[in-house]
Amino acid sequence: MLAPAFSKETDTLLAQARTLCDRRGVQLTELRRKVLGLVLEGDKPTGAYDLLDRLRVHHKGAAPPTVYRALDFLLEQGLIHKVERLSAFVGCIHQSEDEDHHHAAQFLICQRCGQVTELEDPRVDRALVEAARELGFRPAGSTVEMEGTCAACAAAPASAPAPG
Amino acid sequence: MLAPAFSKETDTLLAQARTLCDRRGVQLTELRRKVLGLVLEGDKPTGAYDLLDRLRVHHKGAAPPTVYRALDFLLEQGLIHKVERLSAFVGCIHQSEDEDHHHAAQFLICQRCGQVTELEDPRVDRALVEAARELGFRPAGSTVEMEGTCAACAAAPASAPAPG
DNA sequence: GACATGACGTTACTACATAACATAACGCCA
DNA sequence: TGGCGTTATGTTATGTAGTAACGTCATGTC
Ligand SMILES: [Zn+2]
Ligand SMILES: [Zn+2]
Ligand SMILES: [Zn+2]
Ligand SMILES: [Zn+2]
């Protein structure tokens, strides 16, 4: 079970995650750290079974529950998000603050290049919370995703979709 | 293959759907009509395999592609929506107008009673479209879902969740 | 009659997610 | 120091969601 080699950026984010978990008194175990690293390394959302395959390289005997339990932990801690439309996971780019565990995020999904952009637009969240409040609905969590064409792909000619 | 018996409300909605499809020059076949009826009859979002089971009662030999193809058609026509968080389908309550096929909908999902409420709040959609536009992103479709506690369940005592 | 189109049947498969139970490690405290 | 609860993980099996690929049949059209 050698530690997988992550990029410098990922290592930085992992160090932040470690600090965050320490402050919260929760355990960022080696397994969870590995899974978080794999999610962060991907430049696009990564499916659970894709993560499982990569995990197995250094973590022999990993099974679906192995990765799903790690993902559950990371979701709870707000270190990753699930993109529902893709059934896939991305690292949260708004961590590092020791605010509340989760935050209201929005995702822009490019149908052409697969790139996903995370937003944290207060106007969007405010509008949604307000609409819910008017109906007496108490919000606990939201999923906001928009599919379409990203700026790069909209500018590129039809035959050359912007690379991943 | 007897026609399944639907409620009066469902029959009314089915008649509207028929009119709509006729105007668009698309075929609301008997199979598609049955599946739409089954979705409309449910007071909660219905999964594809649940629909499949019910479909089989009157439609011997139905298989997953049978129901998924019908669902694809109904989604295209804007007659139903998919609730991503539940991997389940609900009838659209904003049809009957012969506007564009789809519309930007929002869903409130009660974690307690499972009830799902469809909204069509222009503020929410505007905020999201605006946020996307600022990044040069061209929207094609959106998923906006909020989980929490509905008004009825928030008012009810803990032991008595509001019925379905 | 050849041919395209659209809907549906049929078989098989892939992908996503969880239930249920076993094991190991740690801290706590009688 | 031995029992006990808690947390994380291992392990096996199963449940649930979704699609690929190909065949058939009806309709329309030139
Ligand atoms: Zn985030
Ligand atoms: Zn793109
Ligand atoms: Zn609708
Ligand atoms: Zn409720």
Q: Which two tokens mark B20?
A: 């709509």
Collapse the DSSP code of B93 into the 3-class scheme (helix H, G, I; strand E, B; otherwise coil) and give the result.
coil
Domains with residue ranges and CATH for chain B:
1-97 (1.10.10.10), 104-164 (3.30.1490.190)
Reference A128, options A119, A118, A138; nearest CA is A138
B151 touches chain A (CB under 8 A): yes
Q: Sheet harboring A116-119: ordered strands across?
A: A116-119, A106-110, A138-149, B138-149, B106-110, B116-119
| Predicted pLDDT at A102 | 81
Q: How confident is the model at residue B92 (pLDDT cuts 50, 70, 90)?
A: very high
Mean pLDDT on B48-63: 96
As a whole number of angstroms, the distance between CA A34 and CA A41 comes to 10
Q: How far is the CA of B153 from the centre of ligand 4 (A)?
A: 4
pLDDT at B76 exceeding the cut of 50: yes
Strands A138-149 and B80-83, by their bridges, are unpaired
What pLDDT does A162 receive? 61
* pLDDT over 80 at B96, yes or no: no
Residue A64 CA to nucleotide C19 C1', Å? Answer: 12
pLDDT 10s digit of each residue in chain A, 164 long?
456 689 999 999 999 999 999 999 999 999 999 999 999 999 999 999 999 999 999 999 999 999 999 999 999 999 999 999 999 999 999 875 555 578 999 999 999 999 999 999 999 999 999 999 999 999 999 999 999 999 999 998 765 666 55
Contacts of A154 in chain B (CB under 8 A): 136, 138
Closest CA to A145 of B142, B121, B108, B89: B142
CB B6 within 8 A of CB B40: yes
Q: Which amino acid is at B49?
A: Y
Average pLDDT over residues B32-46: 97
Secondary structure E strands in A7-103: 80-83, 88-91
**For the residues B34-52, what does the mean pLDDT come to?**
97
Distance (Å) from CA B111 to ligand 3 centroid: 21
Q: Would you say residue B1 has pLDDT above 50?
A: no
Joined tokens for residue A61: 């005997």
